[in-house]
Copies of this chain bind each other. A is one copy, B any other.
Amino acid sequence: MLNDSSLTTPYLLLDKVKFRRNIRRLYDHIDSLHCQIRPHLKTLRTVQSAPWLLRDRASPATVSTLAEAEAFAAAGYRNILYAVGIAPDKLPRIAACLRLGAYVHLLLDSLTQAQAISAYGQQHQVAFSVFIEIDCDGHRGGIKPDDSALTDIGAYLQQNGMHVEGVLTHAGESYHCRTQDEIAQAARAECQAAIKAAKRLRAAGVTCPVVSVGSTPTAHAVRDLDGVTEVRAGVFSTFDLFMTNLGVCTADDIALSVVTTVIGQNAEKGWLFVDAGWMAMSRDRGTASQKTDYGYGLVCDSEGRSTGLLLSSTNQEHGIIAIPPDSGHQVTDFSLGTRLRILPNHACATAGMHTRYQVMDSQSGEHEVWHRVTGW
């Protein structure tokens, strides 16, 4: 009973039973490796998800916008990493969070940033807490663990009254792995890079209590976290078709879908029209480069059972389900008003198109509405 006909479509449905099960799976795994999780809250971006994602208000969390940092700080969360490289114009808002009593840690990877932070901090008597970003795979930002700039940055921050909380790396390239072995290898490389960087900083006299690694694929694949203090992951709570293609989950694990209604048919072309276009699904086509291309999403019936059909194309508020002749389905199977559920390519992108989520618990029958923190 996950559907509610009193809601007009499209709407985002979060299956709370699957959501809780996915979270439990990663916590069990990381607990067994004697490490802790710093969940990335960017997928759902709602304070209402926090009681399930975080053990308590002192638990480490990751965010990708200042708007999230502010919302979580205002709600009493105390250990928040803003995991996007810092620019000086954002420091006043970070300082305001610190005054609320929340540690909002910054991320940087250059001496220029360290100098800017230190200058602002000294001028305004704020001791910022900093993570230094380490590049483990050439994916995006960060400095190499053996780069001399690493210790220069750490020493500069510490000498100027800032706090080096830790090092952080993100195995973004694990999203392009083709096998479980490749993901496991990415997980090892991620840990090795972060541990090496932390050792070099400590040897140079820089405090560096935290060694932070993670991505959803590597967090599930990692088998040894010795020397690592925390693992970050984001999409693990909802999963999506991209993660299904990577072998990290099954389609049945996906907790997030868009409920849509059949609004028209073109029998000649074998097309169904639904009211979930890219405004409801997002423009994300991440599975296009993977082993199975799911178009704009996998079409399920109203109870979440896969039809095997795809949301083939989208306009702003229209989706087209092109029914292949050999699919065992035909247009007339889906009459006007039929409700369907579309599993997304990328949960972070699809959730980002919605300001509210309909959260249904099929065990308790409870229905909640969660509100997304919008903007930056």
- Point out the residues of chain B lying under 8 angstroms from A66, CB to CB: 8
A315 within 8 Å of B by Cβ?
Answer: yes
Closest chain B residue to A261 by CB distance? B87
Interface centre among A65, A172, A279, A285 (most CB of B within 10 A): A279
- Point out the residues of chain B lying under 8 angstroms from A352, CB to CB: 279, 316, 353
| C-alpha spacing A335/B284, complex, angstroms | 31
User: Do residues B8 and A140 form an inter-chain contact, with CB atoms below 8 A?
Assistant: no
- Point out the residues of chain B lying under 8 angstroms from A112, CB to CB: 335-336
| Residues 256-275 of chain A, each 1 if its beta carbon lies under 8 Å from chain B, else 0 | 00000111111001000101
User: Do residues A261 and B375 form an inter-chain contact, with CB atoms below 8 A?
Assistant: no
A48 within 8 Å of B by Cβ?
Answer: no
The A146-201 residues at the B interface (CB cut-off 8 A) are 172
| C-alpha spacing A40/B111, complex, angstroms | 49
The 8 Å CB contact of A9, one of B89, B273, B275, B316, is: B89
A47 within 8 Å of B by Cβ?
Answer: no
- Point out the residues of chain B lying under 8 angstroms from A86, CB to CB: 263
- Point out the residues of chain B lying under 8 angstroms from A278, CB to CB: 284, 349
In the complex where A335-B112, A336-B110 touch, is A140 in contact with B284 (Cβ < 8 A)? no
User: Do residues B283 and A11 form an inter-chain contact, with CB atoms below 8 A?
Assistant: no
Closest chain B residue to A90 by CB distance? B8
The A79-95 residues at the B interface (CB cut-off 8 A) are 84-90, 93
In the complex where A316-B42, A376-B8 touch, is A275 in contact with B337 (Cβ < 8 A)? no
A355 within 8 Å of B by Cβ?
Answer: yes
User: Do residues B140 and A273 form an inter-chain contact, with CB atoms below 8 A?
Assistant: yes
Closest chain B residue to A339 by CB distance? B89
A356 within 8 Å of B by Cβ?
Answer: yes
A31 within 8 Å of B by Cβ?
Answer: no
| Residues 41-60 of chain A, each 1 if its beta carbon lies under 8 Å from chain B, else 0 | 01000000000000000000
| C-alpha spacing A310/B140, complex, angstroms | 17
User: Do residues A263 and B116 form an inter-chain contact, with CB atoms below 8 A?
Assistant: no
- Point out the residues of chain B lying under 8 angstroms from A317, CB to CB: 42, 64-65, 84
The 8 Å CB contact of A87, one of B93, B263, B266, is: B263
Nearest Cβ distance between residue A333 and chain B, in whole angstroms? 14
Nearest Cβ distance between residue A220 and chain B, in whole angstroms? 20
In the complex where A141-B273, A348-B316 touch, is A264 in contact with B375 (Cβ < 8 A)? no
Nearest Cβ distance between residue A235 and chain B, in whole angstroms? 10
Closest chain B residue to A66 by CB distance? B8
Closest chain B residue to A348 by CB distance? B316
- Point out the residues of chain B lying under 8 angstroms from A316, CB to CB: 42, 64, 348-349, 352
| C-alpha spacing A93/B7, complex, angstroms | 11
Nearest Cβ distance between residue A293 and chain B, in whole angstroms? 15
Closest chain B residue to A45 by CB distance? B279
Interface centre among A88, A278, A335, A354 (most CB of B within 10 A): A278
User: Do residues B355 and A374 form an inter-chain contact, with CB atoms below 8 A?
Assistant: yes
**Given pairs A64-B317, A85-B318, A87-B261, 13 additional interface contacts (CB within 8 A):** A8-B93, A9-B89, A9-B376, A42-B317, A65-B279, A84-B318, A86-B263, A110-B264, A140-B315, A141-B266, A278-B284, A316-B349, A316-B352
Give the 3 A-B residue pairs with the shortest CB-CB distance, closest first.
A283-B283, A85-B263, A85-B264
